[in-house]
Amino acid sequence: MPTASLSLSTARTLHLAAQQLQNPLKRQAKPDDLLSAIKKMALLQIDTISVVARSPYLVLFSRLGNYPSEWLEEALLARKIFEYWAHEACFIPVEDYRLLRHRMLNPQNMGWKFNQAWFDKHESDIKGLLDHIAEKGPVRSADFTLDKRGSTGWWDWKPHKRHLETLFTSGELMVAERRNFHRVYDLRSNILPHWDDATQTLSQEHAEFDMLCRSAQALGIFRIEWLADYYRLKRVNSKKLTAQLLDLGLITPVEVAGFSSPLYVHQSLHRLLAEAEAGKITSTVTTLLSPFDPVVWDRRRALELFNFDYRIECYTPEAKRQYGYFTLPILNRGEIIGRTDAKMHRKQGILEIKSLHLEPGVNIGPRRVKDITEAISRFARWQGATQVTLGNIPQVLKTFWEEGWSLLP
């Protein structure tokens, strides 16, 4: 039976605390803070859309504030994180390589990411590609161009990218570094020379249970049904999993206002849970979130926990978009209060707020205006902007902001 009863706002704060979004970092971020943030989230989803800062940089900004984005590439180059398919393509702490290795060893189970027929048809060319990398060193997709077409086969410009992705999915290649956000591939044996499949690889059952435990820790407070999506797991027996986690003392059931069945709090938040019962925790963060932030990447969870009905519309025809191309949720002191479609004009040093929509029932007072203004300004400065311009925004904000504002260095 549940041992605590929490308000919805307190439950949200516990989740945000697990995601390092309870309180802003009170000092200048350090490289170790970046690695800590990734470990707390477990996964940092990768996306290449760059209308504002690319998603993984933005997710980290929401937690760290102003930091040099190159720290992410440096962590990858230093082998502190690696890339693989998890929730989607993600940066993952290198110590969690063991959780994903079984997927690489059975790539046939990876759906569209691996095609056995393609591998069999091009086996000789793929072996040639591996030999080339072993002899010449790491390669990028861009290294194989039209002017090499038709020479002797394996470097034909059309299939090369698929060869690289096939070898990445099967774990023969890893991403050694990113150059201008483009992957550079090298042999797994060069990146993780001490890895031994025979002694270090987990069984699928063991690995997936550990993934579910990592998901529980990253979410902090959750319905059991929310856990599987974090690593895109299938066929999870929720009843059996609940019993296992309870027996191990990893989770505590709690009642949350608005939920008809118990939610669970991970043991890593037990101290905060005691403070929550006493009404002593709040979230003071105001920031813009990436569409691929773990807080909102599960659209159903975002709706149930934050009453935020969200979808990304960059793949929707422009005429059918309701909010904009790449809308960023606005997190304000434990609530998601709206979304903004923004665009960074890098050459001009301008952050354009193309539109901003508040959620129904959100009231705007002086403190909230100050919070949002400062959040947008921090976001703009981090990207090198000196000016914020405004498009379609609510009249209540237009009264305060007029046509925009300049940013001091």
Residue 26 lies in a domain: yes
pLDDT in tens, 224-278: 999 999 999 999 999 999 999 999 999 999 999 999 999 999 999 999 998 888 8
Q: Which residue from 286, 407, 289 is spatially nearest to 351, judged by alpha carbons?
A: 407
**Residue 360 lies inside a defined structural domain of this protein:** yes
Q: Is residue 66 part of a domain?
A: yes
For residues 185 and 91, membership in a common domain is answered with yes
Question: Looking at the structure, do residues 87 and 195 belong to the same domain, yes or no?
Answer: yes
Of residues 352, 366, 299, 350, the one with CA closest to residue 329: 299
Residue 35 in this model has a pLDDT that exceeds 50: yes
Residue 139, domain member (yes or no):
no
Q: What's the confidence (pLDDT) of residue 285?
A: 97
Q: What 3-state class would DSSP assign to 7?
A: coil
Has residue 63 been placed in a domain? yes
378: CATH: 3.40.630
Tens digit of pLDDT for each residue in 190-216? 999 999 999 999 999 999 999 999 999
Query: Average pLDDT in the 301-322 region?
Result: 93
Q: 265 near 14, Cβ under 8 Å?
A: yes
Q: Report phi then psi at 407, rounded to 5.
A: -115, 130
Q: Please tell me the distance from the alpha carbon of residue 239 to that of residue 227, in angstroms, as a whole number.
A: 13
Domain boundary among 222, 250, 285: 285
Size of the chain in residues: 409
Residues 267 and 368 in one domain: no
Amino acid at 209: F
Residue 56 lies in a domain: yes
pLDDT at position 3 is 73
* Same domain, yes or no: 236 and 275: yes
Average pLDDT of the segment spanning 109-118: 89
146 pLDDT band, cuts 50/70/90, is low
H/E element holding 189? Answer: helix 188-191
**Residue 151 domain-assigned (yes or no):** no
Say what the pLDDT of residue 153 is. Answer: 46
Domain end marker among 250, 268, 285: 285
158: pLDDT strictly greater than 70:
no
pLDDT of residue 298: 97
Asked if residue 195 is part of any domain, the answer here is yes
- Residue 157, pLDDT above cutoff 50: no
Higher pLDDT, 302 or 409: 302
Looking only at the bridges linking them, the beta strands covering 81-85 and 89-93 are antiparallel
Do 179 and 272 lie in one domain? The reply is yes
Q: Give the end of a domain, one of 285, 302, 325.
A: 285
Q: Give how many domains the chain has, as a whole number.
A: 2
pLDDT at 101 over 80: yes
3-state secondary structure of 316: coil
Whether the model clears a pTM of 0.85, i.e. scores above it, the answer is yes
Residue 142 confidence (pLDDT):
85
The two three-digit tokens of residue 84, written as one number: 């693989």
Residues 362 and 225 in one domain: no
Select from 252, 249, 225, 218 the least CA-distant residue to 239. 225
Q: What count of other Cβ atoms lies within 10 Å of the Cβ of residue 277?
A: 15
pLDDT at 408: 81
Query: Do 279 and 316 sit in the same domain of this protein?
Result: no
Domain that holds residue 346: 311-406
- The fraction of the chain above a pLDDT of 70, given in percent, is 96
Indicate the pLDDT class of residue 143, thresholds 50, 70 and 90. confident
Residue 266 and residue 329 in one domain: no
Q: What's the average model confidence in pLDDT over 82-93?
A: 98
Euclidean distance between CA atoms 311 and 296, whole angstroms = 9
User: Could you tell me if 210 and 172 are in contact, meaning their C-beta atoms sit under 8 angstroms apart?
Assistant: no
pLDDT beyond 50 at 313: yes
- Can you tell me the distance from the alpha carbon of 137 to that of 398, in angstroms, rounded to the nearest whole number? 55
Q: Dump pLDDT digits (tens) for 334-378.
A: 999 999 999 999 999 999 999 999 999 999 999 999 999 999 999
User: CB under 8 Å to 244, separation ≥6 — which residues?
Assistant: 209
Angle 366-367-368 from CA coordinates, rounded to 5°: 95
Q: Across the chain, what does the average pLDDT equal?
A: 93
**In this structure, are residues 363 and 371 in contact, taking their beta carbons and an 8 Å threshold?**
no
Q: In what side-by-side order are the strands of the sheet with 139-140?
A: 139-140, 182-187, 173-179
pLDDT digits (tens, 9 = 90+) for 120-140: 898 999 999 999 999 999 999
Q: Tell me, what amino acid is at 25?
A: L
Residues 205 and 78 in one domain: yes
Q: Is the pLDDT of residue 154 over 50?
A: no
CB count in 10 Å sphere of residue 405 = 16
The stretch 151-176 carries a mean pLDDT of: 80
Q: Are residues 273 and 388 in the same domain?
A: no
Tokens 């006493």 belong to which residue? 278
**In this structure, are 393 and 276 located in the same domain?**
no
Q: Are residues 281 and 338 in the same domain?
A: no
- Helix, strand, or coil here: 390? strand
Token pair 């999915």 is found at 169
